[in-house]
Copies of this chain bind each other. A is one copy, B any other.
């Protein structure tokens, strides 16, 4: 299940019209292409796809080019992680921005979370590999701290609009605590469902995942409304 030994596209044959052997690109574009190749390799081969040669072959460049644009492999992987995070958060933020009511925004957020391109076994497996790198890679930790903040912010905004913003009601303190736990719980629920989908794609339907999450939020609403014990 390792990446194939040689996957590079055939080099330009010595045709009569002498085509350039490679194309120069702006560092910015080349870095983006290398990051895209890294993610593609992760999707195809998992952790084993994270080798300089596999990635450069996927990108159609030589082995030396990566170290010209990135100081080392870890930074390339961290760059791919950053891109992956940004794509997710931007997509979810855009989906949740359209609807007018708080409930519809949360629903749009959840539906985006459980539909392509996010609910894809390959994509979710990439997340898991990144998470597996987290504990022993400083660059990954740094990116996580950078980008996770946005995700938490988005989720707390959505939940706050539904549960009543802290300071908007009478008992601001109690609700602030609930908001923190609510964000932790909903994040865990989504990540956990993603993980289950990764281990067994199709084990549930996207609608069911949304329903599970909405059920959790409704329980929160009931409790926030003082519906405390049956």
A interface, CB within 8 angstroms of B = 1, 45-48, 121, 125, 128-129, 131-138, 144, 148, 181, 184-185, 187-193, 195-196, 198-199, 203-204, 208, 211-212, 215-216, 218-223, 225, 227, 230
Which residues from chain B contact A132 at a C-beta distance below 8 Å? Answer: 46-47, 125, 128-129, 131-132
Number of copies: 2
Residues of B contacting A136 in the complex (Cβ-Cβ under 8 angstroms):
1, 45-46, 48
Residues of B within 8 A of A198 (CB): 131, 134-135
Q: How far is the CA of A193 from the CA of B227 in the complex (A)?
A: 25
Q: What residues on B are CB-neighbors of A190 within 8 Å?
A: 192
Partner of A203, one of B184, B220, B230: B184
A190 to B: closest C-beta gap in Å: 7
Beyond the given A128-B131, A132-B132, A219-B222, please list 7 additional residue pairs across the A-B interface where CB-CB is below 8 A: A1-B136, A144-B199, A148-B199, A185-B189, A185-B193, A215-B220, A222-B222
